[in-house]
Amino acid sequence: MPVEIPSDLTPELVPLSWLIGEWEGRGRLGTGEEGSEHFVQRATFAHNGLPYLQYRAESWLCDDEGTILRPLTVEMGFWALERKLVDADGGPGMLPADMVPALKTADDVEALRNDDGGFDISVSIAHPGGISELYYGQIKGPQIQLSTDMVMRGSHSKDYSAATRIFGLVDGKLLWRWDVSQGKSSGDSAEGNGGLEAHASAILSKLA
């Protein structure tokens, strides 16, 4: 399936452009083995002319035939290439960015390629229950690997210390897997990456 790049996309989002759109499909909790619960998910990646993608994913528990039973959760966040911010970038807060983007050309973006031939990215995701994740990782073509650098938990949040996520575009479908560690975290930085366990996975199709 060819990837259509929006004409108003800021240059540095081109490596992420295959994510843009609305996706829907089904997945399984845990390892996905017999007895694992099923869910339906709809995920959206959108852009508004600024150098990041807006992300929202809503999920519902369903039966093994895909009939929705009840809401499961919602998560929201932002995806961007990882780079040093300059005066042309917006923020902090509502301070506006320059009219001309910080990275103006494809050559500017190519200069950000890492030694592995991909691009470093950062992803921030907020969850209900007072939990927020900050991921760092890499996008290389239609493949993404992410690992938490930090998990922030509220005073009454459930234990959750680290996570990894992988995404891939295979035959036009978005496949993802999410592994987590529910060990206790120390301060603001996540510990226990060695204790990661399968949390969920899904296969999503792009909606017209």
Name the nearest CA neighbour of 73 among 131, 127, 132, 125. Answer: 127
Binding-site residue ranges for heme b = 158, 199
Full-model pTM: 0.91
Binding-site residue ranges = 158, 199
> Under CATH, domain 11-182+197-203 is a member of which superfamily?
Calycin beta-barrel core domain (2.40.128.20)
Q: What is the pLDDT along the chain (208 residues), one digit of tens a residue?
A: 566 666 679 999 999 999 999 999 999 999 888 889 999 999 999 999 899 999 999 999 999 999 999 999 999 999 999 999 999 999 999 999 999 999 999 999 999 999 999 999 999 999 999 999 999 999 999 999 999 999 999 999 999 999 999 999 999 999 999 999 987 544 444 444 558 999 999 999 999 8
Q: What are the boundaries of each domain within the chain? A: 11-182+197-203
DSSP states along 1-28: -PPPPPTT--GGGGGGGGG-EEEEEEEE
Whether 48 and 55 have beta carbons less than 8 Å apart is answered as no
